[in-house]
Amino acid sequence: MFAFKGLTGGYPGTFSIMPYYKKVEEYSDLENRDIWEYQLNLTRAEIRRLMMHVWELGPVYADYYFFDENCSYQLLSLIEAARPSLRLTDEFDYWAIPADTVRTVVKQNGLLKKAVFRPSARTEINHRLNSLDADQRDLVRRMALGLSKPDDSALESLPPARQASILEVAYEYLRFRYRDGAEERDATARRSLDLLRARSKITAEADASPVPTPEKRPDEGHGSARVSFGGGVMDGRAFLEMRLRPAYHDLLDPQEGYVKGSAIDFLDFRVRYFEDREYPDLESVTVLRIASLTPRDDFFKSLSWRLDIGVERFRRSGPAEGDLAGYGGGGGGLSYKIWSDAVLWAFADAKLTGTTDLPDGVVGDLGPSLGLLYYPTSWWALQLQGRYLFALNGPTENYLDAGLEQSFSFNRWLALRTNAAVKGDARDPFLELSAGLHLYF
């Protein structure tokens, strides 16, 4: 619902005045967002003019739309009020992706002072847990849940620095659970106090390193817009293909500067020219595709999900075969990290496809899907997935879609994408092979 309302103008965009640390706490501790803080070289007079402008706006609000009138776009107008010689908003006529607004600011000569990475509470906890072995992580979990006491013999047998680290991360995880609503206040307070008392008795510093700053900032990732050229073979028919996507990022695009396992695609057009056709055909338009793969573990019980809305060729048997059909669907389920940078997921999927050539006007599908998302290196990404959809109505067969898609990034502007898939009617699927160069700008 949060994603839907953010995309459709369901939230009012307003300015509020609060201590800065409160806003950082809200993002980091309550919403578990890693923050990149970009400090700007504004004079005292410019800062005063900016604050005066915010003050005069008062309770005025603007409809919030993620792809154009979002928070980052409104901040550009504030910076322009502070320094009118900047024309930051002129570059955004139709959409304003947050990373692009930051790029616009950064490229202004002398405007950026420095950038600081602020990891979220969850990122901090995960980083500290990764420095412990399996038994020590289990001890953290048991102490946070009250299943073990801070005077547990398993803890006292460890060096003081490691004891300090375990007690600290157990306390932080307990606080995380309380903020997340998984713990009651009274029980949390008692356990928190026990953990802090035990930690205060240890004079050694915790043997925990700080969370490393990512090598690339969001503004140093690939451009939000993408165009690609390629070709392939579908069911024995050769084709050339062109794609255009104004925004934003999918699971196989170059990952540096982006959150792995998260994707938002908007208005991805795909046009194909088959050798036996006189004119190019519109193969599909992805109006909106969102994916969130958040691995579960013993500490964080996250759910993964995806949403997909658009238009595509109906590549199934029946009277609508080959027609352009509107569709909407998605799925939800669980994902797990099986080794470093590899996530295995399992979803229950549902899909509705509509076109006038279907007897009922629409066909509904329901079924399971499995996938593996893996980033072997910083320049290589692959996704192996399979989906079987049972047709709930209509004169068509059950649907199968299974394949391997890979991306090889040469730099932040250029990547080679390959795909090998078997899809179509489950009893008689066809083979599709394709490859293309993706250019980001």
pLDDT digits (tens, 9 = 90+) for 192-247: 999 999 999 999 999 999 999 999 999 999 999 999 999 999 999 999 999 999 98
pLDDT at 2 over 80: no
Average pLDDT over residues 15-21: 88
pLDDT at 3 over 80: no
Asked whether the beta carbons of 217 and 257 are under 8 A apart, the reply is yes
The share of the chain scoring above pLDDT 90, in percent, equals 80
Asked whether the beta carbons of 161 and 132 are under 8 A apart, the reply is no
Q: How many CB atoms lie within 10 A of CB 178?
A: 17
Highest CATH level, class, for 221-440: mainly beta
321 φ, ψ to 5°?
-55, 125
Quick one: pLDDT band at residue 267, thresholds 50, 70, 90? very high
d(CA 121, CA 199): 19
Q: Which two tokens stand for residue 347?
A: 């979803």
Which is nearest to 266 in space by CA: 63, 67, 3? 67
Q: Which two tokens stand for residue 251?
A: 């699971």
Quick one: pLDDT band at residue 65, thresholds 50, 70, 90? confident
Asked whether the beta carbons of 399 and 388 are under 8 A apart, the reply is yes
Quick one: pLDDT band at residue 58, thresholds 50, 70, 90? confident
- Supply the mean pLDDT for the chain: 93
∠ CA 54-58-59, nearest 5°, is: 130
Q: What is the pLDDT of residues 357-397, one digit of tens each?
A: 988 899 999 999 999 999 999 999 999 999 999 999 978 89
pLDDT at 67 over 80: no
17-21, 126-130, 199-203, 279-283: least confident range = 17-21
Quick one: pLDDT band at residue 434, thresholds 50, 70, 90? very high
∠ CA 99-380-244, nearest 5°, is: 50
The share of the chain scoring above pLDDT 70, in percent, equals 100
Q: What is the pLDDT of residues 303-323, one digit of tens each?
A: 999 999 999 999 999 899 999
At residue 395, the pLDDT reads 86
Higher pLDDT, 327 or 187: 327
pLDDT at 13 over 90: no
Q: What is the pLDDT of residues 278-303, one digit of tens each?
A: 999 999 999 999 999 999 999 999 99
Contacts of 145 (CB under 8 A, 6+ apart): none
Cα separations in angstroms, 209 against 84, 129, 134, 259, 296: 43, 11, 18, 22, 24
At residue 316, the pLDDT reads 94
Q: What is the pLDDT of residues 402-428, one digit of tens each?
A: 999 999 999 999 999 999 999 999 999
Provide the residue type at 29 as one letter: D
Asked whether the beta carbons of 372 and 252 are under 8 A apart, the reply is no
Provide the residue type at 397 as one letter: E
Quick one: pLDDT band at residue 15, thresholds 50, 70, 90? confident
Quick one: pLDDT band at residue 70, thresholds 50, 70, 90? confident
Where in the chain are the domains?
A: 2-117, 121-200, 221-440
Quick one: pLDDT band at residue 98, thresholds 50, 70, 90? confident
What residues pair up with 362 in beta bridges, in sequence order? 354
Asked whether the beta carbons of 309 and 288 are under 8 A apart, the reply is yes
d(CA 33, CA 20): 16
Asked whether the beta carbons of 265 and 250 are under 8 A apart, the reply is yes
Q: What is the pLDDT of residues 134-163, one digit of tens each?
A: 999 999 999 999 999 999 999 999 999 999
At residue 95, the pLDDT reads 81
pLDDT at 97 over 90: no
d(CA 345, CA 338): 10
Q: What is the 3-state secondary structure (H, E, C) of the chain?
A: CHHHHHHCCCEEEECCCCCHHHHHHHHHHHCCCCEEEEEECCCHHHHHHHHHHHHHHCCCEEEECCCCCCHHHHHHHHHHHHCCCCCCHHHCCCCCCHHHHHHHHHCCCCCEEEEEEECCHHHHHHHHHHCCCHHHHHHHHHHHCCCCCCCCHHHHCCCHHHHHHHHHHHHHHHHHHHHCCCCCHHHHHHHHHHHHHHHHCCCCCCCCCCCCCCCCCHHHCCCCCEEEEEEEEECCEEEEEEEEECEEECCCCCCCCCCCCEEEEEEEEEEEEECCCCCCEEEEEEEEEEEECCCECCCCCCCEEEEEEEEEECCCCCCCCCCEEEEEEEEEEEEEEEECCEEEEEEEEEEEEECCCCCCCEEEEEEEEEEEEEEEECCEEEEEEEEEEEECCCCCCCEEEEEEEEEEECCCCEEEEEEEEEEEECCCCEEEEEEEEEEEC
At residue 12, the pLDDT reads 84
pLDDT at 441 over 90: yes
